[in-house]
Chain A
């Protein structure tokens, strides 16, 4: 084909390279975008909550108490070491209660009368400047139901001088939370006691702690009903909530059709509680579990809920033979993936990845070879040389 010069020829010769650069950068962008989304999810599901003391002290790594430990009242409950861990998350500092002290007036007129005494819990714990317990509580379903601070935290709310008197417990111990909630929610706490969540696990430091308790799923002060879309136990939010501990299950759920539909806010779609139940969650090996192979057909067809899922006309017993959360290998029915001793679920993606790299590399390589290959360049030089020779021969012949 004839070669062209000028801008048209330039476009003709180099448009494919421009296109290739565009396509590859687009694919790269999509790849990086997906990696970032995955990274965000990873960060979300493995939160680093270990605040250090220095992170939140207001001035140059010092707290008031580091210098003022000798002042009168510094040893009362509210100033003690227990105060900091529970308040530093909200960036609350000494000056919030003692504004005059921070105005560089370090004189001796500081006394007990300055302590803000005539306060109720919510006066501090609902300050508009803070994302604080009280604020969360004000918009919760507990507020509507009339459950107040003292119901969980103890103490005497009517005592203006010392609300933290009597049976005040402050921050409840993890072990006590089930008992506190169970005071009102007796059925739920009784059901929870039968579940696998009601147990003890080792934490990273090797200490035995309560594995799971009410607040892990339902939140703390901002507790909403389970059918409120803001609630962490709302069906579409449950993968995020459960995934905080069950992160591998979260990822395998996300890879499934159910998982993708949940992200898009599906109206009728199975999320964690739809298959696993709510308070009385039991392991798959337990015959009472609703995901046990003897019960899975009933669960997939909608179970006791009003949802119409997969219907009873299908042979759902067959679902029980497989694992729904598959992560490469399958446990019980692993043998279905093996052909000639090769694990297909690992092998096939590997073959495809190699084919993609090989084919794309080969095809792009051929494009460059066809246009700028040795043959092309040598051929062009030879042709030029031939043409010159012919030209000079004809000129000589002419003379």
Chain B
């Protein structure tokens, strides 16, 4: 049995850089939602209220465009930052966010455990849910960025694509936004705010996790840390 004191020992899960990236993503995401959906449902009362609160239609357009650009720039910065930290592609491919065979094994074991066959897997630094959310954001920024730029500059886009694809971009932009909003407010909020095991985690603000939390959420990573020490690239 480890002591109470040892349980409270803190480990750095996310450094300042990562936390700021997350907060920028959060800010731009909310800005996109409140400025985007009024365009899809202009006849509803909440659309009129939101546009009124934003200071009118001109502001709605400007906030939507520029926060979208900021979100895309965040994605570019994120990739740039990863490349700098990892020096070469080989090292980057070993990043723990990469999807591997281990995830498939863990997923099978997870479903078995849900139905009472065996224990939960010994999770590593990122569990399959976190990986899905991360790669979902990567996919989302790509789709929303490309279709968004087409809709921002439709006439310039016509130089490269037929008119019909502009309409298609509009349809995709709406549905992708809808999926992203649902995933965040239902799945992501459950995992980070409402998890009965460990609700209201403050890791996204402080970046820290106690040993007790690490043992529960990421036992395999804790084993690594005990053996080799913390990875400085947080």
Contact = CB atoms under 8 A, between A and B. Distances in A.
B115 A374 contact: yes
A260 B42 contact: yes
A34 interface: yes
Contact of A321 (B162, B175, B195): B162
B41 A34 contact: yes
Chain B's interface: helix, strand, loop or mixed, by majority?
helix
Interface stretch (B10-18, B26-34, B196-204): B196-204
Contact of B194 (A15, A314, A316): A15
B19 to A, nearest CB: 24
B172 A356 contact: no
Contacts of B197: 1
A13 interface: yes
B51 interface: yes
Contacts of A264: 42, 48, 51, 57
Nearest to B179: A356
A64 interface: no
Given A348-B171, A356-B179, A263 B43 contact: yes
A60 interface: no
Contacts of B38: 260
A356 B181 CA distance: 11
B190 interface: yes
Contact of B164 (A315, A333, A371): A333
Nearest to A14: B196
A261 B175 contact: no
A265 to B, nearest CB: 8
B199 A37 contact: no
B220 interface: no
A60 B169 CA distance: 59
A340 interface: no
Contacts of A322: 162-164, 166-167
Given A318-B159, A363-B187, A379-B116, A261 B44 contact: no
A357 to B, nearest CB: 10
Nearest to B196: A13
A259 interface: yes
A54 interface: no
B155 A316 contact: yes
Nearest to A33: B44
A368 B183 CA distance: 16
Given A318-B163, A360-B186, A355 B179 contact: yes
B134 interface: no
Interface in A349-399: 349, 352-353, 355-356, 359-360, 363-364, 366-367, 369-371, 373-376, 378-379
B46 A30 contact: yes
A193 interface: no
B164 A337 contact: yes
Contact of A375 (B57, B115, B194): B115
B114 interface: yes
Contacts of A360: 182, 186
A369 B162 contact: no
A53 interface: no
Interface residues of B, number: 50
B171 A319 contact: no
Nearest to A375: B116
B217 to A, nearest CB: 9
A174 interface: no
Contact of B171 (A15, A330, A349): A349
A41 interface: yes
B30 to A, nearest CB: 15
A20 interface: yes
Interface string A313-352: 0111011011100100010011011000000110011001
Contact of B114 (A315, A352, A369): A369
A326 B176 contact: no
Contacts of B155: 310, 314-316, 318-319
A373 B115 contact: yes
A266 interface: yes
A179 interface: no
Interface in B62-83: none
A30 B42 CA distance: 13
Contacts of B159: 315, 318
A378 B116 contact: yes
Given A257-B39, A348-B172, A19 B167 contact: no
Interface of B: 38-46, 48, 51, 57, 113-117, 155-156, 158-159, 162-168, 171-172, 175-176, 178-179, 182-183, 185-187, 189-190, 193-199, 212, 216
Given A37-B43, A318-B155, 17 more contacts: A1-B197, A15-B194, A19-B189, A19-B190, A34-B44, A254-B43, A264-B57, A319-B158, A330-B164, A336-B162, A337-B164, A337-B168, A352-B178, A369-B114, A371-B196, A375-B115, A379-B116
6 contacts: A19-B189, A318-B158, A355-B179, A363-B186, A369-B114, A375-B117
Interface of A: 1, 12-13, 15-16, 19-20, 23, 30, 33-34, 37-38, 41, 254, 257, 259-261, 263-264, 266, 310, 314-316, 318-319, 321-323, 326, 330, 333-334, 336-337, 344-345, 348-349, 352-353, 355-356, 359-360, 363-364, 366-367, 369-371, 373-376, 378-379
Closest 3 pairs between A and B when the two form their complex, measured CB to CB: A322-B163, A16-B194, A352-B175
